[in-house]
Each structure stands twice: as C-alpha cells, then as structure tokens.
Amino acid sequence: MPITGDRKIVEELIFEQSVSGRAGIPLPSSDVPRTEPETSIPSALRRRAPADWPEVSEPQVIRHYTRLSQLNYCIDTHFYPLGSCTMKHNPKVNDRMAMLPDFSALHPLRPHELSQGVLEILYEVERWLRELCGMDAFTLQPSAGAQGELTGILVARAYHESRGEKRTKVLIPDSAHGTNPASAATAGLEAVTVRSRPDGQVDLDDLRAKLGSDTALFMMTIPGTLGVFEPQVREIVDLVHRAGALMYMDGANLNALIGLLRPGDLGVDVLHVNVHKTFSTPHGGGGPGAGPVGVKKALEPFLPVPRVVKEGHVYRRNLDYPSSIGKVHGFQGNVGILIRTYCYMRLQGAEGFREMSENAILAANYLRAKLAPLFPKMPKGPFMHEVVVSGEGAFANGVRTLDAAKRLLDYGFYAPTVYFPSIVHEAMMIEPTENESRETLDDFAAAMAAIVEESLTTPEKVKTAPHTTPVRRLDEVKAAREPILRYRRD
Amino acid sequence: MFVPHTEGQKKEMLRTIGVRSFDDLLEGLPKDLIRPPLDLPGSMSEMELVRHMEELAKRDHLAQSYLGAGAYEHFVPTSVWALALRGEFSTAYTPYQAEASQGTLQSIFEFQSMVCNLFEMEAANASLYDGASAAAEACLMAAKHTGRSEVLVPDTVHPQTRQVIETYLKHSGVRLNVLPCRGGVLEPSTVKKVLGAGTAALLVQNPNFFGCLEIHVHELSKLVHEAGALLIASSYPVALGMIVPPGEYGADIAVAEGQPLGLPLGYGGPYVGLFACKMDLIRKTPGRIVGQTVDQEGKRAFVLTLQAREQHIRREKATSNICTNQALCALASTIHMSLLGKEGLRRLADLNFQKAHYLAGELEKRGFPRTFDRPFFNEFAVKCPVPPDRIEELLAREGVLAGLPLGRYFPALKDSLLICVTEIKTRGDMDAFVGLLENVCR
C-alpha cells in the first residue's frame, strides 16, 4: 500500500502535490485575432482570482489516481457480497462500446434523422425490458433507481388524478428500502408503513386495514429484502386492485427473477429497474446508474417525454404526450449507461437471462446451506437472489455483525450489507450473484466460520478489525460533529 | 453467460442445499407463470456484438457541430477515462465500508474541494444526477430553508431545466413562477414586480440559455437578499475561468451541469450535477457528502458523513430521495480539473471566448447579426435570413450541425440560431462554416 513519508497520510491530496506554476495538459494557442475580454465584459462580471485548482503534471495525476484506485475493493478485485446491490460482473466490452467516438460525440439535441443508431438502441432496450418484465411501456429517462421510483409514483399519481380520484397514501412494508418512503414524500404523498409478520411476509390483516379509497399505491420489493419470494403476492395484488390502488414493484432484486417470471404477469402496474444491478452496468463507486420505469397500458400516457417511437423504419423522439408528467432529466437520460445495458442484453440473449437468474438462486441457496451451521437463527429458505442472516447467537463475547463485516475485509472479502432490513436484528444480507464460483463461495463460508471461531478465542481481534486495510476503523462521530468537507490551504 | 459452475458442480451444489432438482428452489413462485416464452433473440458473442455496435455508431457520424444549449463539446484528455474506467473505481459500490473504499472517498473529497473553489462557495456535495435535477433540488432546498413557497425562474434559464424543476415542484407545495424576459437577460425591474414575502428563491443561469451574461447578477443578488430570499446560481463551469463565480455575487446555492468537465456529450448522459452552498445550509443539502476524519491510529481518512439527512436513515423525512451521486462522472471531472489546473481553466476559458468572438464577428460581417447585443462567453444567437430549421437541414447534408433553432423553444425567436464554439474549432473550421451558412442563405 502506498504510504508517503508522513505516516499519518495514506496518499496526499492532489492539492498537497501542487506546485505554483506547474501545468498538467498543454492547450493549443489561439489561431484567431485576439479580442480582449475587457472590451466586452464589464469588470464586475469578470473573475478576479483564478479557481484554486491544483497545479500538477500529467504523470502526477496518473500516479495519484492510480494509487487512489488501489485503495478500493471492487468487483474486479474482490468478492463483493453486498446484499440487494447485486455486485455482478461488469463486462469490459460494454464500457468500450459505450465510449465509441461516434456515440460519445452525439449531442443530445441532434435532430432525430441524425441520431438513428442511438435511437434504435434506446428503442430496443425498451422492447427488451417490456418483454422481460411483461409490461406495456417503458421510459428510460430516470438517472437511477431512486429517480425511477419518484417517476413511477408521479406517473401513478397522474393516472389517479386523470380519473378524478384523490389518492394520497402510499403503503410500504416496514422491510422496504428507505428510498421508497422518501420517494413517496418527494411526490407529495404520505408514506404509510405496513407491518411484516415475524417470518418477513406482509401482514395481510394490516394491509387490509390500511388499504382504502385514499390508497394510491402499494410499493413492494419483489423478491423481498429478506431474499424471499413473497408467496402471498397474488393475494396482495388482488387486494390492492380491489381497493382501486396500483401495485408498484421495486425492481431492486430483479436479478433472480428475469427470464423466470415476468412482474407484469403477476399483475404489477408500475415497476422500476436498476440497470446497474440486473443489467450489469458498473456501479461506479455510487453512480451513474439508470432507473427505467415500466407501466401497464393505462399508465403509458403519463410517462416522461421525450419518448422514443418508431415510424416505419425511422426512430423519433416524440414530445407529443399532453398528459405526460414532464421531464425528470435535462435531456433523455443516462444514455451511456443504457448503451451498456443494451450490450448486456445482446450478450445474454433470452436464454442467458434465465440461466443468470437460476444460477443466482443456486448460489444464494448454496451459501445458505454452507452458512447454516454457523447461524442458529438461519431462515429455512429457499432464497432467491440473496441470503439474509442474523448475527444474533452466532458470534460470542459481544462480537457484533458490524465487527464481523469489518473482519471479512481482512479475509479479502468486501462486507455484506449490514443492519438492513431493520426487521432482522443484526442483519447481514449476502448476495453472491451468478458469477461467483463455488470455490469463492466455499472460501467465504470458511472465512465466516473462522470469524465465528475468533469470536470465541480472540474476540478483540474481531472487534478492532479491520487490520489490513489502508486505514483502520474511522471516527465517524468526529466527521459529523466537526465537518471538514473540503481541502483548505493553510 | 458469465456463470462459472460446471454441470457437475451444479449437481453437487444442489446436493449440499438438500434438494433433488433446481425447481425445488422455486416452490414459492406461481407455477403457471414460470419460464414464460420470450420473444427475444439469442445471445451474441463479443465479436458479433462489437461489429453490431460499430455499425450502429457509424450510422450517425458527423464532421462538425455548433450545437451547445446545455451540452458542450470540449476536448477530453485521454488520461481522464483511462483512469476513471479502471475497474477499481468503476466496479466499486457506494463507499459504505470506508476502510475498503478510501480511493473513492478521497477522490470525492477532492471533487468537493475543486467544486467549492470553482464556484467560490463554502461547501459542496458529492454530486447529483445532472445540472437540471441539481437546479430542481436547489429550489426544493431553498423552499424548505426559508419556509416560503414560490421560486422565481426567468425564461433565460434552459427550457429543459425549467421542465425538470416543474416536475419536481409540482406536488411539493412550491410554486414555480416563470419570469418572461426580453432583450436576452433578466432585468431587476422584472424581479421587483414579483418579489415578496412568499419568495423562497430566484434562480439565475449565467451565462444564460441564450449565451448572454446575466449582467445584473450583483443587483439581483442584493434585491433577493433584501427580500429574505435565497439566490440560486447556475453556471457553465468552463465559463467560470473568465466570468465572476457565484460565490462572489452572494449566491446561497450554486449548481451546474458538470458535463463540460471531462464528460462526453453521449446523447445527454450520464452527466453530473454540481451542487454547492453556504456552510449554514449544508445539513439541508440533498445527496452524499464526504468528510475528513481520522482512523483509530490517527491516520487521516475520509468517510460519508452528515448521513442523518439521507433516505436510508430518515426515510420519508429525508432531505431528498436521492441515493447515489454520479460518482464515476464526478471522478472523471476531478481528474479533468486536476489536469487543467488553475491556469489551464483560465486559458481554456480564454480560448473559448476568443474563438466564439471571432466567429460572431465573421458572421456579423456576412449578414448574420447577433440577436442580443449583450456580453457573451462562447455561445450566441444570430438572426438568419432563412428559417434556421431549413439551415439546420441543409448544413446537416454537409455533415455539419449548425446550432439550435431557437424557435423550437421561443416562437418569437423563430429567425434565430443559437451557435456555440469551443476550443476544438479552428479558424479554418469556422471560415468554412461561415461559407456554408452564406451559401445556404443566398
């Protein structure tokens, strides 16, 4: 690991490497007669001092960011069993195709006659999603899953309003991701929590009691955040529809369903898809993603504009949807990510998606079997995309799930998602995806067994983990109490 | 594809699980719906895919473009994406386990620092989806902070940004009041007429959609603050190498479309929303924020912080529903900003200014006067003797995108074409472009 002369610093900030007067990249000199800015721009509108950006050479920049990259765990270097985040293999060819110069050069306001290649891709991505999800129409505009949720809720709201109905509540199970209620609130609706039973399934009595003529949507993650396919789903859809509400599916966990079961066939009215999960686009350390939203026919008129349409052999951006909720992205969405999505679709093919889901399910259940002897509260399963375990009763001497997660880093694994869903105490969500080999899964289970053993013999070692990462556990309280959010020159 | 298990291993794994066949694992799924027939093609090999994609890409090849209007064609040094697409960055997740994510976290801290310095603002977040949603989030934040319910947005702000703001505000209880402007800039008198105790914020875009500098920003800032409202400023990052940064005229929130800093046009995305504010607003900010701290050995380290604002903790009471930022785009921008450096940004801005003023001057001489006689940076509208839609069509045949016919958004400007020039155009390119324009307008 690169450690500089100062032992308290892993890698200097780029600002700390700056030397006044040093330049990174040369710019060409001007080839036109000079116009002095002073002649047209009044001094109050001109910048006085240049932006204080670092002054470094290109080799410095290369070394600095390469070294920073080496401080990360990532899919390319480690098993990354982050539950519900679906850290699967990201094919390199997809990046290369998305960066082809003729795609990179496409201005978003180009006339459609000059954008036929990219429009065909977008049209095809929609077609694939429609077919795979059993929905009637898609928008590709949302930039991420969360924006997809907001879009889906706004579309549903517009649908109800077009029918003269004022429905203000969004019912959400207590096992849901925090984005669901946050998106409902952003759409101006009230989030109402529906209880789960101890086994994680939706409490139907509570759902019945809360469903009413004011319910706009029931939002449900399928398969659920416990990694299980909700067996009552048809009954739930039926209850929701009978109340005149719409069924919203959070597609965060679609990686075990695609090709096996189409949400639309279950009666789902609106869903969003996280392409950085199921469709393998790189997570990028936290974006960019894309969050396409699919709907049934009755909701199509409300989707964002522009929509991609095909007329004869010509693709067009169509703005003429008077009932549309408008726009959620400055242009037409994260096209570079959608090109990667398209590549992944073509690489998998219809059969490949089925194989993908089946092997994701196989891996999760295999991991459950391997981990079962270690976790006394292990649910029976079967699981879909991930296995959710509780650290309670597994670790001794006050070792907690967080400690075990940190210790996994020392064993060469990224940590699973921890303390979510909140309905499971000391939760660990472990998602292996279809890509991890049995050998890796065995190694992971062995590491977990070693940590359980360490909690008996050397608990301090676990409680103070990690020991081998570039930095040790951080003082997060200090970070929040005395926020230092930027570099300042002394 | 990409499945490592052999048939033999699969059988062994099923045995370990304790089921006889794979389908036993699907017991909870509705039997009648499993494995539906799919009307989709089979898989392609990588080789076939590459050929297919290259054919699609080639279809829309064009020689040159003078389109700007919110997305700008700047030169991107090779190092930017050679570094950003390293798997260690691109295939990592949001840095929840800080000990194993210092690369991403430190680069975001550097990004926040550079964004602050660009805007001359006190604090910045880790980025938002794009410039348009950043503007929309800023409007919501201003309304929450002031407890007021109207946001003023002049029509000199990009029409598509206004559309996104409209979508975000529609059900928030905050009213969007669009101010019509004449003469290409927002006049203080227009604001005075509507400014009041209910005004949460004024949003200005500088340079604005027409490429004009909003020449009254200082006065507008004073007016808005006297009324107890906030000023939200949207900027074009490259222009800030020359023109006054929002912090200097008192902006409370500064946003920008960060695409010009290292991101390809890419048909509209992914881009990156820059978002900065005064320090006293930071706890109301949407999105991720990275802070500096120490580890248990006293080593400097970086971590996601002020998370009590966010959806995974606050659920429906969060400051925004956003989860991710645009980390990889922010990283590319950070690398681009490092390569440019202090002097590079100033020189880049100057090059843009020089080239655009050369072209504007040449066009003026050939009978294409500027629509607005205002100071501008690298984009300007010209009046054309032939309908701009027609010009666009005719020049496209020559492999050139002429610019944006403004009539598409502003019927009153149906004779105007919005033209953008960046550093990538040479004098020869521009002389040829003037010749083409003259030809089609003859």
Q: How far apart are CA B237 and CA B206, in angstroms?
A: 10
| Residues of A in Cβ contact (< 8 Å) with B331 | 65, 284-285
Q: How far apart are CA B154 and CA B214, in angstroms?
A: 11
Q: What's the pLDDT tens digit per position in A385-401?
A: 999 999 999 999 999 99
pLDDT over 60 (residue A3):
no
Q: How far apart are CA B339 and CA A352, in angstroms?
A: 42
> Residue B34 and residue A25: Cβ atoms within 8 Å?
no
Least confident of A242-251, A372-381, B153-162: A372-381
State both tokens at B253.
């929130």
How far lies A237's CA from each of A171, A200, A249, A376, B440, in Å? 13, 17, 10, 34, 61
> Residue A485 and residue B79: Cβ atoms within 8 Å?
no
State both tokens at A298.
């009755």
DSSP B180: P
Residue B89 is predicted with a pLDDT of 98
Torsion of CA A41, A42, A45, A48, to 10 degrees: 100
Query: What's CA A391's distance to the chain center, in Å?
Result: 25
Of the CA atoms within 13 Å of residue A5, those in its CB half-sphere come to 0
In sequence order, the β-bridge partners of residue B235 are B206, B256
pLDDT over 90 (residue A225):
no
First to last CA, chain A: 27
| Residues of B in Cβ contact (< 8 Å) with A37 | 242, 350, 353
Query: What's CA A99's distance to the chain center, in Å?
Result: 21
Q: Is A100 helix (H, G, I), strand (E, B) or coil?
A: coil
Q: Tell me the ipTM for this assembly.
A: 0.97
Q: How far apart are CA B408 and CA A111, in angstroms?
A: 12
Q: How far apart are CA A384 and CA A368, in angstroms?
A: 11
Nearest to A51 among B95, B345, B354 (CB): B345
| Length of chain B, in residues | 442
| Residues of B in Cβ contact (< 8 Å) with A45 | 213, 215, 217, 243-244, 375
Q: Helix A335-371 crosses helix A116-133 at what angle (to 10 degrees)?
A: 30
| Residues of A in Cβ contact (< 8 Å) with B328 | 282, 284-285, 287-288
Q: How far apart are CA B376 and CA B360, in angstroms?
A: 10
pLDDT over 90 (residue A305):
yes
Greatest alpha-carbon pair distance for chain B in Å reads 83
Q: E strand or H helix at B239, and its extent?
A: none
> Residue A349 and residue B103: Cβ atoms within 8 Å?
no
Q: How far apart are CA B348 and CA B367, in angstroms?
A: 29
State both tokens at A366.
């295999």
Q: How far apart are CA A455 and CA A109, in angstroms?
A: 60
DSSP code per residue over A20-56: TT--SS--PPP-S----HHHHS-GGGB-SS-------
Evaluate whether B64-74+342-441 and B78-336 have a shared fold.
Answer: no
- pLDDT classification of A5: cutoffs 50, 70, 90: low
Q: Which option is the CATH number for B78-336: 3.50.50.60, 3.40.640.10, 3.30.2320.50, 3.30.43.10?
A: 3.40.640.10
Q: What percent of chain A has pLDDT over 90?
A: 92
B296-313 mean pLDDT: 88
Dump strand ranges (E) for B279-345. 290-294, 300-304
Q: Is A239 helix (H, G, I), strand (E, B) or coil?
A: helix
Question: Which amino acid is present at A327?
Answer: K
- pLDDT classification of A116: cutoffs 50, 70, 90: very high
Query: Mean pLDDT across chain B, nearest whole number?
Result: 96
Residue A1 is predicted with a pLDDT of 45
Query: Mean pLDDT across chain A, nearest whole number?
Result: 95
Q: What angle do CA A127, A131, A133 make, to 5 degrees?
A: 115
Taking alpha carbons only, the member of B301, B295, B325, B310 closest to residue B105 is: B301
Taking alpha carbons only, the member of A435, A297, A416, A291 closest to residue A355 is: A435
Residue A335 is predicted with a pLDDT of 98
| Length of chain A, in residues | 490
Question: Which amino acid is present at B68?
Answer: G
- pLDDT classification of B207: cutoffs 50, 70, 90: very high
Neighbours of B281 (CB within 10 A): 19
Least confident of A169-173, B114-118, B253-257, B319-323: B319-323
> Residue A27 and residue B423: Cβ atoms within 8 Å?
yes
> Residue B316 and residue A185: Cβ atoms within 8 Å?
yes
Q: Which domains, from first to last, does chain A contain?
A: 93-348 (3.40.640.10)
Disruptive mutation site among A278, A279, A471 for chain B (greatest number of B CBs within 10 Å): A471
Q: How far apart are CA B420 and CA B438, in angstroms?
A: 18
Disruptive mutation site among A1, A272, A486 for chain B (greatest number of B CBs within 10 Å): A486
Which sequence spans correspond to the domains of chain B?
Answer: 64-74+342-441, 78-336
> Residue A66 and residue B328: Cβ atoms within 8 Å?
no
- pLDDT classification of A6: cutoffs 50, 70, 90: low
Tell me which chain A residue has its CA closest to the CA of residue B214.
A45
A413-424 mean pLDDT: 92
CA–CA min distance A243, chain B (Å): 23
Q: What's the pLDDT tens digit per position in A325-365?
A: 999 998 999 999 999 999 999 999 999 999 999 999 999 99
Nearest to B41 among A233, A349, A472 (CB): A349
State both tokens at B351.
């090059």
**Residues within 8 A of A (CB atoms), B 73-112 only:** 73, 77, 79, 81, 83, 85-104, 106-107, 109-110, 112
Lookup result for tokens 């990588």? B46
- pLDDT classification of A7: cutoffs 50, 70, 90: confident
Given a contact cutoff of 8 angstroms between Cβ atoms, the answer to whether B402 and B437 are in contact is: yes
Q: E strand or H helix at A353, and its extent?
A: helix A335-371
- pLDDT classification of A4: cutoffs 50, 70, 90: low
Tell me which chain B residue has its CA closest to the CA of residue A267.
B33
| Residues of A in Cβ contact (< 8 Å) with B117 | 51-53
| Residues of B in Cβ contact (< 8 Å) with A181 | 311, 315-316
Given a contact cutoff of 8 angstroms between Cβ atoms, the answer to whether B214 and B227 are in contact is: no
A133-150 mean pLDDT: 96
Q: Is A374 helix (H, G, I), strand (E, B) or coil?
A: coil
Q: How far apart are CA A235 and CA B85, in angstroms?
A: 46
Q: Which residues contact A395 (CB under 8 A, 6 or more apart)?
A: A401, A403, A404, A451, A452, A455, A462
State both tokens at A467.
């020991």
Question: Which amino acid is present at A294?
Answer: G
| Residues of A in Cβ contact (< 8 Å) with B77 | 25, 58
Q: How far apart are CA A338 and CA B43, in angstroms?
A: 18
pLDDT over 90 (residue B201):
yes
Residue B324 is predicted with a pLDDT of 78
Q: What's the pLDDT tens digit per position in A153-165?
A: 999 999 999 999 9
DSSP code per residue over A402-422: HHHHHHHHHTTBPPPEES-ST
Q: What percent of chain B has pLDDT over 70?
A: 100
CA–CA min distance B219, chain A (Å): 11
Pairing of strands A190-194, B199-206: unpaired
> Residue B33 and residue A56: Cβ atoms within 8 Å?
no
Q: E strand or H helix at B165, and its extent?
A: helix B159-169
Taking alpha carbons only, the member of B135, B172, B162 closest to residue A326 is: B162
Cβ-in-10-Å burial (0-12, 13-18, 19+) of B275 comes to: buried
The arrangement of secondary structure in B64-74+342-441, i.e. its CATH architecture, is: Alpha-Beta Complex (3.90)
Q: What's the pLDDT tens digit per position in B345-389?
A: 999 999 999 999 999 999 999 999 999 999 999 999 999 999 999
Q: What's the pLDDT tens digit per position in A467-476?
A: 999 999 999 9
DSSP code per residue over A196-235: B-TTSSB-HHHHHHH-STTEEEEEEESS-TTS---TTHHH
